[in-house]
A and B are shown apart, each in its own frame.
Chain A
Amino acid sequence: MKEEPGYYDYWPYHNRPKITWPNGAKVAFWVAPNIEFYELDPPDNPFRKPWPQPTPALPGYTSRDWGNRVGHTRQMELLDKYGIRGSISLSTALCDHHPEIIELCKERNWEFFSHGIYNTRYTYGMTEEQEREMIKDSMESIYKHTGQKCAGYLAPALSHSEFTLDLFAEVGTELFGDEAGFYTCDLFHDDQPTPIHLRSGKRFVSIPYSLEMNDTIAYLVQKTTPRNYGQALKENFDRLYQEGAESGTIMCIPTHNYQVTNAHRIKAYEEALEYITGHSDVWVTTGKEIAEYFMEHYYDVVNEDIGQKAKQYGNA
């Protein structure tokens, strides 16, 4: 085990090179709906119990199923209304179980990225070969069902190994060259994109995907009220918009169709979306588009700045 992940260098949030998003936007804003499939009777994993109750664990299972049966449509209509294309963190087995949902997202040209096979199959305990196979399966499923070359990754249930990011990037290259496997949502260390060190040396970035703004963290962990969640979204945006004048920032709202679309919560979410998209200097986009834009225009500049500071201040 390592003392630190080693994916990135220390890069202070001041005196950074200025990032400007397309059309002079200050904030790149993206919404990442997690569209997940949780199994009723998943196999055991020695490191994490899938459900708190013996099978069938109805509270957790039924809530997730509700999201696919009821919630997905509600969120999709809301994103349509505000001109937002979702960037889907996908349990890729859902392509087999619920192709109707995949079709609806395809029609809207939403982005699909890999969130593993099921959200009840954890990376913990996998050998490197097993994890590679799982990741490959997920990227191939996305390609087969959507025609998209999967650019991004969020490990299933945020379960990682030391190899996760390396494997994702390598499988992407193996399948589709540089067109796939080039960004991750798994790291929460920054409000701007960060170049990531991989063993392959592939150009690869971390795109901020906020756990703090994640509806499941807000509702299940923080147990916030819907109105407070809506308010937090607006305040998160306000600060990032203000700072984005200095150098472009990223705001992500990661959602789950079983949380944010509940009848008693959706209004607060809608108010935040209306507020955010009502600002002029906002680039409403997807995870992949942010990663591509950053890599094309800022990756080298940022890398140089990070390297120069590391040299000057001796960051280890």
Chain B
Amino acid sequence: MDKKQSSMGTLDDSYLNYPHRSYGMDHERYEWSMLKNRKPVAWPNGKKVAVWVNVGLQFFPLNQKGIPFKVPGGMTKPYPDLRHYTLRDYGNRVGIYRFLKAFDRYGVKPTFAMNTRLAEKYPYLLGLLKERQDEILSHGHHMDALHYGGQNPEEEKELVKTALDRLRNLTGQSVKGWISPAKNESMNTPDFLAEEGIAYFCDWANDAMPYNFKTKHGDLVAMPLSTELEDHFIILNNLHTAEDWGEQVKDAFAFLLEESQTMGGRILSLNIHPWVLGQPHRIGYLESVLEELAAHDAVWMATASEILESWKSQTA
């Protein structure tokens, strides 16, 4: 695209050119499609709402470089920012064990999005997750290893490959899923992911259901991991209480359940972080949400891959 502009602060006439002004999207990655026009999806056993509890297991380096920006949730103070480093680390030491206890109590089937650096640093935690046989997907190398527009493609390709090779090696799992740190990408990220054997990714939060996303190496599936309902977004960005978070999740569930009566199966995706909801004063609200959801007849507690497979089998 022409980015010409004069130095005087006025705009070149090209500012009134609109090269992508035609049917569909302004890029070639996926088809324009309104959800209401798609074939309804039916979840296994007549369930109406798939609940995907996705836990971000993150490592925020103390020596954050912040290229090209400081990752949300990362260090904000001058080095060494012990305050933010340790409070994030709290999640991996303490909060996660509160999560696991709650998942087991209510029969929740979680999916873990893990930074490779964290898997390397905390073999105890990794071993426990492997033993549980929960699905692990890649959350990139670490939270300061961002994928971004303008990044050297060779450097990014190597970053994707290293993160995945090491995580696959450590977990013994095929690792089919991906969430970029900060859900940030370059224009090349999807191509590199597909090339490295990723089947689904969660950075494009532009739908309520999975959809096919084109790459140079075949299609990925974009899985709808809601940012709007994230604990980090609601509690630390919007500054709502954990109780408010719980109410919003319950309202969302009630609405999706209602919508599923006429529109087919729906997905309630909860992207949560042990350093946020794993705090003693917040965990109770997570438990209350999980208890209500897990006890509901219409809920299918599912991992990301299970949802993906069910969706794929009906849309192929």
The residues of A with any CB-CB pair to B shorter than 8 Å are 37, 39-47, 52-59, 61-63, 65-66, 68-70, 72-74, 93, 96-101, 117-118, 121, 125-127, 130, 133-134, 137, 219, 223, 225-227, 262-268
Contact = CB atoms under 8 A, between A and B. Distances in A.
29 contacts: A39-B20, A40-B27, A41-B1, A43-B1, A43-B2, A44-B3, A46-B11, A47-B9, A52-B69, A53-B149, A53-B184, A54-B149, A55-B149, A56-B149, A56-B186, A56-B187, A58-B184, A58-B185, A59-B227, A68-B34, A69-B207, A96-B21, A97-B21, A121-B15, A125-B9, A223-B238, A263-B229, A263-B252, A264-B255
Nearest to B250: A264
A59 B68 CA distance: 15
The 9 closest A-B pairs by CB, nearest first: A54-B149, A263-B252, A62-B206, A264-B248, A264-B252, A65-B206, A223-B238, A125-B11, A263-B255
Interface in B13-61: 13-16, 18, 20-27, 32-37
Contacts of B255: 263-264, 266-267
Contact of A267 (B34, B203, B207, B251): B251
A223 to B, nearest CB: 4
Nearest to B9: A46
Consensus secondary structure, chain B interface: loop
B69 A97 contact: no
B187 A226 contact: no
B244 A70 contact: no
Size band of the interface chain B makes with A: 35 or more
Contact of A70 (B9, B208, B237): B208
Nearest to B241: A225
B249 interface: yes
A58 B204 contact: yes
A126 B14 CA distance: 11
Contact of B252 (A55, A100, A127, A262): A262
Nearest to A227: B247
Contact of B32 (A41, A97, A125): A97
Contacts of B185: 56, 58
Contacts of B169: none
Contacts of B205: 58-59, 62-63, 66
B149 A72 contact: no
A69 B23 contact: no
A72 B1 contact: no
B228 interface: yes
B228 A264 contact: yes
B149 A96 contact: no
Interface in B217-263: 227-229, 237-240, 244, 247-249, 251-256, 259
A130 B15 CA distance: 9
B10 A127 contact: yes
Contact of A44 (B5, B13, B148, B237): B5
Contacts of A55: 149, 187
B150 interface: yes
